[in-house]
Chain A
Amino acid sequence: MENPRYWRLKKQRYGLVGEVCPHCESKIFPPRDVCPECGSEARTEFTFSGKGKVYSYTVMRDAPAGYEQNAPYTVAIVALDEGPMVTAQLTDLGEEKVQIGMPVEMVTRKLREDVEKKGILVYGYKFRPVMRASN
């Protein structure tokens, strides 16, 4: 039963909520309570804008358990505008070709679901091509 783990991570997973270091202003994701830049304690909550760029990507054709129904799908390393890198699925690509440097934005989507449709639905961040340049 992994429910407690999903429950513990829900805030960061649903809304891209990390931390900001009160000492050196570094933005931290995922939250870890210690600043990876200066080593000081960092517990101040920070909600990321969700904007970023594709740093690298690959296409998953042989998906792990819980993700089979979505294969093939694209997984990217996204460089967030505030600094940190996150690994996440890209979604809503349609016919758009993924390119390194492509601007993307965070959306909250269904991450996984058991085939028997008995378990909990797991939601979390993915990224899609930006809808509008402003905002």
Chain B
Amino acid sequence: MTDKPHGSLLLRTDRPTGIVGYGAYIPRYRLPGSEISQLWTGSPKGSPIKEKAVAGLDEDVITMSIEAARNAILRAGIDPQDLRAVWVGSESHPYAVKPSGTVVAEAIGASNNIQSGDWEFACKAGTEAMVAAIGLVGSGMGRYALAIGMDTAQGKPGDALEYTASSGGAAFVIGPANESAVEIKASYSYVSDTPDFWRRPEQKYPEHGQRFTGDPAYFKHVESAGRVMMEELGMKAQDFTYAVFHQPNPKFPLKAGKELGFSEEQILPGLLVPVIGNTYAGASMIGLTAILDIAKPGDRILQVSYGSGAGSDAFYFEVTERIAERRELAPSIAEYLARRTEINYATYARYRGKIDMG
């Protein structure tokens, strides 16, 4: 029990793994926060973010996962037939019963020889799929595994969450470290039974514990995961080039990051919530892709997700020299942000199924 890694709390694999290809997806439509506050408070002021990304009428977690996955495979340059898992983490799977992963796998040209169960853990379903993919590849069960975090987040009309609940996410092809654009050095997960946010079956919108979602929930888990991770690694915040956290609003990740010793300069490149909103299961993952769009070889990155209920997955990445050529092979976050059509609340209500058609 004394020799590492088995004596450590860190999750490390026998075979080194990495991110071979990454891909993001942001839908075209944007709802300004002022539209929401104007409707429910009578003032254009008060939204925590500028605007949020809204999926179109013909989009859902399956279609958005397909585009992010295609981007990840383009960057990885692999044959999708070599994937041994296609995993989608979300809290807005289009079916209650029927996997999202099988549709995604068929659409991207994966084989029938795969694992494809869906993952659920509120906003950390996507990073849970990443840990599983790292385990599958790291054990030698398969050469490549695809982990996706994607959501069309539900926010009750008039609720505080409506300002931020948005659509989007990211996909990662996990594979051998020696083929990777980013090496995965270690991960660590911290979970506990904490009732801060939930949705019962048959309910359209989630409930949450108001301020209880802060200290005992988000901050407790994000900071515990980040702190233990750095302690076990013997590293400090200054050792990292970037840090990306789950981002339900702009304040939480900056505050948690500060508590862990990170500066705003380390966090802001991966902080997309002000311009796309909270993509739930996709949030820390799509933030990571924004960092990978600008990262240099040798850069070290800390990612910490958060899912209500509750838990956090922390990852330590190191960027390799393959990053520059890979990133050019698919659209960047900047390109998706530039593809933007502003909509009003009425269009948003129609696109997100908030109008009762009788």
Contact = CB atoms under 8 A, between A and B. Distances in A.
Interface of A: 10-11, 14-15, 17, 47, 69-70, 89, 91-92, 94-95, 107-111, 115, 120-121, 123, 126, 131-132, 135
Interface in B52-95: 56-60, 62-63, 66-67, 74, 94-95
B109 interface: yes
Nearest to A71: B57
Contact of B58 (A14, A95, A109, A131): A109
A123 B107 contact: yes
Of A14, A91, A108, A126, chain B has the most CB atoms within 10 Å of the CB of A108
B63 A109 contact: yes
The 7 closest A-B pairs by CB, nearest first: A94-B341, A14-B107, A109-B58, A110-B58, A108-B66, A92-B28, A108-B107
A110 B59 contact: yes
B357 interface: yes
B28 A123 contact: no
Contact of A10 (B63, B98, B106, B330): B106
Contacts of B109: 15, 17, 47
5 contacts: A11-B106, A14-B66, A70-B58, A131-B331, A131-B335
Nearest to A45: B109
Given A108-B66, A131-B335, A91 B107 contact: no
A46 B106 CA distance: 15
B339 to A, nearest CB: 6
B260 interface: no
Contact of A108 (B57, B63, B331, B335): B63
